[in-house]
Amino acid sequence: MTAGLIAGITGLKAFAANGGRKPRVVIIGGGFAGLNAAKALRKSPVEITLIDRRNHHLFQPLLYQVATGSLAPSDIAVPIRELLKSQKNVKVLLDEAVSIDLAAKTVELKTRGSLGYDYLVLAAGASHSYFGKDEWAEFAPGMKTVEDALAIREKVLLAFERSEEAGTPEERRALKTFIIVGGGPTGVELAGGLMEVARESLAGEFRTSDPSEARVLLIEALPRILPMFPEELSQSARSQLEAMGVEVINNKMVTLIEEGVVHLGEETIKAGTIIWSAGVAANPIGRTLGVPVGRGGHVSITETLNLAENPEVFVIGDMSSLMQADGRPLPGIAPVAMQQGDWAGKNIARVVTGEAPLPFAYKNQGSMATIGKNKAIAQIGDRQFTGFSAWMMWNAVHVGKMAGFRNRIAVAYRWLTTYLTGRRPSALIEADDIH
Amino acid sequence: MTAGLIAGITGLKAFAANGGRKPRVVIIGGGFAGLNAAKALRKSPVEITLIDRRNHHLFQPLLYQVATGSLAPSDIAVPIRELLKSQKNVKVLLDEAVSIDLAAKTVELKTRGSLGYDYLVLAAGASHSYFGKDEWAEFAPGMKTVEDALAIREKVLLAFERSEEAGTPEERRALKTFIIVGGGPTGVELAGGLMEVARESLAGEFRTSDPSEARVLLIEALPRILPMFPEELSQSARSQLEAMGVEVINNKMVTLIEEGVVHLGEETIKAGTIIWSAGVAANPIGRTLGVPVGRGGHVSITETLNLAENPEVFVIGDMSSLMQADGRPLPGIAPVAMQQGDWAGKNIARVVTGEAPLPFAYKNQGSMATIGKNKAIAQIGDRQFTGFSAWMMWNAVHVGKMAGFRNRIAVAYRWLTTYLTGRRPSALIEADDIH
């Protein structure tokens, strides 16, 4: 039989099994997980609806570079419609999924009522968690969306602008103090990036207040930053940050955040800019499923990536929690989301044609974190890398992973410019008013 | 005498003339006029303060390409500080000038009190004018700032998104109708750009509502669009727009704009998106001078670009009105602002060293307007160009004028991508909510 004939028969089977219509697959979320699920179904005889509340897919690992002015939003964000343009079995909807009814097999949308599904892929990602202290959000914003990153960029640039004309030396010092709460990869990237903005990009641009006097503090409650890496790499990351001038504070818990002040127990630090990168929680739509969720709202799934009682529902990426053989859950990182998206799509394709879904196994291709120019750490298999070699690997992997993004050349060009000149092409304050 | 010695003596003179301090030059506005004034004073023994309410200089002729998603804001905007970084006699302040006291020689700032000057360069530009119908602004936004352009981009993209799921054919038709009021260069550029977004960039991305069915209407109250060009070029522009599918309406006055509806006397047209490009008014700070201003708030100036009664005050660019020999005022376009900025700076440099200011003469290097891919009009001296040749000239001149902008390569790259693929790298909706 030819491949075409097989596909035809397969399609016919699925068609017949669903009372004369193609199975409806609803995917919630156009991030790495959702997008890869849609793509894995490109040859399946299904009708896919992909719902996202934004019109764009975001290459989130580079979002901190929007916050630090190296990249423009359009360098790392591409309209989802454009990415799926040629895949005719997908319809993209700009809307927000509010809740899910497992019994009725429907998704409730914010503006368009309810939508029925035969298969559901829940891939709505995660957002900041303030561990129950949501009132801190106002004073210490987090960074998950393009808009978050632009708000942080504006806050940082305005702090330097204000310090140029601040009344007292104390005010000036506070304005040029930046605190990042949380020493995970995003916190580390932001700390290094902000220090470079202060010492390189803005050098020589002010006449009264010297940006290079800026203090950047990275606070991590655990004994070391980047705790998901081996201890030696954590230590190296700390040394590399300190060599840049970042002050790393470990083993101290933030007990209170107010406007411009961070409390570490008795101690207080004044800072014009406070950024939160300490915790994430799964998208709250997971709680509407009515199934058990873990701390952080993560939905427990089977090894085939779906719900035990409702196998037609797949929950993937940052929304779910899958235990590994070593008793630890898979981390909430881009490669896991991408691989799970692809796998969930393939499992749906199998089920639709009468085959059994297959268990997912994460292929760990290594992990890395960047710190600044020529500074990074990387773990590939048993090998560890630090400094320039790790940094070059990080660059190569991140430009490489943007494959399919026409913006790759633009990103590489911008990086080269920033590398050579220290300038940040996107250091703009776009807002309408001097706040 | 060596040049250095002359400069030294000159500086000393200026120093002595001002009771032991260098003359203070305050420049209000970091657009083409203000920026060029500052640069022309780079070798003068003066202390310059340049004030702008935004942190960036904007290459305004390309702003419509941000609205239509071809360019990112950072492609055409550069921090003013960065542009003037190496010019040590300039201090840049992010603030808003609210009023001017000619007698006291002070500028009142929004956040930092008053600032004294010996010479003032008023170059605060223009904004939209609704000819007294300010209530129309809500329904028909204009485009002067990066933020305006992003708001229009979002409005346009959301209209297509909503049309994908609109309830009735009538709703869908209205959502895909775009009205541009005002047939000047910006109106023409937007009309052409929107038609290309609909027919090329978004083609094939929607499953229910076909973007290529969009209607783009350009309404101009005068008998022809681009009335500042010779009649044959206006006619050509109209033909080129119509060939793209734009409907050009002349000789009809907009009598009322409401939410989603434009009234042309008895006739009404429903449109999901209405954009205003019909009128500009000088920045209202000109009215605080207490000198006569024309219709549109333009300040009348002498041929040396300053006020007759207060020769230490220069008013340039879109804020002023300078009659030419033919009895017509100079147009409010970028080349005029650039040349006047340069001239005002040079005149201050002359006055500071005891020389008389010189009369300004505009060097008309030609004018051009772009319409779409391979479509434009141009007038260089007595020669007229249309279509591809005019379009190539427009491209060359606009990339060329960005000289000093490191973003030139980025812009050229993005244009090439859009030209070859029809795609718009910046077609993003960044806002946080589905409105």
ipTM: 0.84
Give the C-alpha separation, A7 to A307, whole Å. Answer: 28
**Cβ distance of B72 and A73 shorter than 8 Å:** yes
**Cβ distance of B164 and A93 shorter than 8 Å:** yes
pLDDT for residue A425: 73
Contacts of A92 in chain B (CB under 8 A): 205
pLDDT for residue A328: 85
Give the C-alpha separation, A171 to B5, whole Å. Answer: 42
Among residues B183, B219, B226, the alpha carbon closest in space to that of B368 is found at: B226
Using 50, 70 and 90 to split pLDDT, how confident is the model at A435?
A: very low
If you measure CA to CA, which chain A residue comes closest to B430? A147
Burial of A325 (0-12, 13-18, 19+ CB in 10 A): exposed
The answer to whether B112 and B319 are in contact (CB under 8 A) is no
Inform me whether the C-beta atom of residue B231 falls under 8 Å from chain A C-beta atoms: no
Inform me whether the C-beta atom of residue B269 falls under 8 Å from chain A C-beta atoms: no
- In sequence order, which ranges of A44-132 are alpha helices (DSSP H)? 63-67, 73-76, 80-83
Mutant choice from B84, B87, B94 vs A, greatest count of A C-beta within 10 A: B94
Whose tokens are 């368009």? That residue is A112
pLDDT for residue A404: 57
Percent of chain B scoring above 70 in pLDDT:
93
Contacts of B94 in chain A (CB under 8 A): 158, 161, 164, 429, 434
**Cβ distance of B161 and A55 shorter than 8 Å:** yes
Using 50, 70 and 90 to split pLDDT, how confident is the model at A8?
A: very low
How many Cα atoms sit within 13 Å of A309 on the Cβ side?
8
Contacts of A425 in chain B (CB under 8 A): 74, 406-407, 410
For B242-262, b where at least 16 C-beta lie within 10 A, e where not — what string? eebbbbbbeeeebeebeebeb
Using 50, 70 and 90 to split pLDDT, how confident is the model at B19?
A: low
Among A122-126, A222-226, B384-388, B420-424, whose mean pLDDT is lowest?
A: B420-424
If you measure CA to CA, which chain B residue comes closest to A413? B410
**Cβ distance of B432 and A73 shorter than 8 Å:** no
pLDDT for residue A417: 76
Enumerate residues 398 to 417 of chain B having a beta carbon within 8 A of any beta carbon in chain A: 406-407, 409-410, 413-414, 417
Give the C-alpha separation, B403 to B78, whole Å. Answer: 12
pLDDT in tens, B220-270: 999 999 999 999 999 999 999 999 999 999 999 999 999 999 999 999 999
Quick check: B334 pLDDT over 80?
yes
Residue from A96, A135, A154, A189 carrying the catalytic annotation: A189
- Rounded to two decimals, the pTM is 0.89
Enumerate residues 87 to 146 of chain B having a beta carbon within 8 A of any beta carbon in chain A: 88, 91-96, 110-112, 145-146
Residue from B47, B96, B108, B189 carrying the catalytic annotation: B189
Inform me whether the C-beta atom of residue B428 falls under 8 Å from chain A C-beta atoms: yes
Quick check: A421 pLDDT over 80?
no
Q: Is A380 helix (H, G, I), strand (E, B) or coil?
A: strand
pLDDT for residue B14: 52
Bridge partners (DSSP) of residue B315 are B122
Among A341-345, A408-412, B190-194, B430-434, whose mean pLDDT is lowest?
A: B430-434
Structure tokens at A196: 């470079």
pLDDT for residue B240: 97
Phi, psi for residue B312 in degrees, rounded to 5:
-80, -5
Quick check: A232 pLDDT over 60?
yes
Which residues lie below 8 Å from residue B66, measured CB to CB, with a gap of 6+?
B72, B73, B75, B76, B146, B149, B150, B153, B426
Q: Is A57 helix (H, G, I), strand (E, B) or coil?
A: strand
Catalytic (active site) residue B189:
yes
Which residues lie below 8 Å from residue B241, measured CB to CB, with a gap of 6+?
B188, B191, B192, B218, B225, B248, B371, B372
Mutant choice from B418, B428, B432, B433 vs A, greatest count of A C-beta within 10 A: B428
Residue A370 DSSP code: E
Percent of chain A scoring above 90 in pLDDT:
76
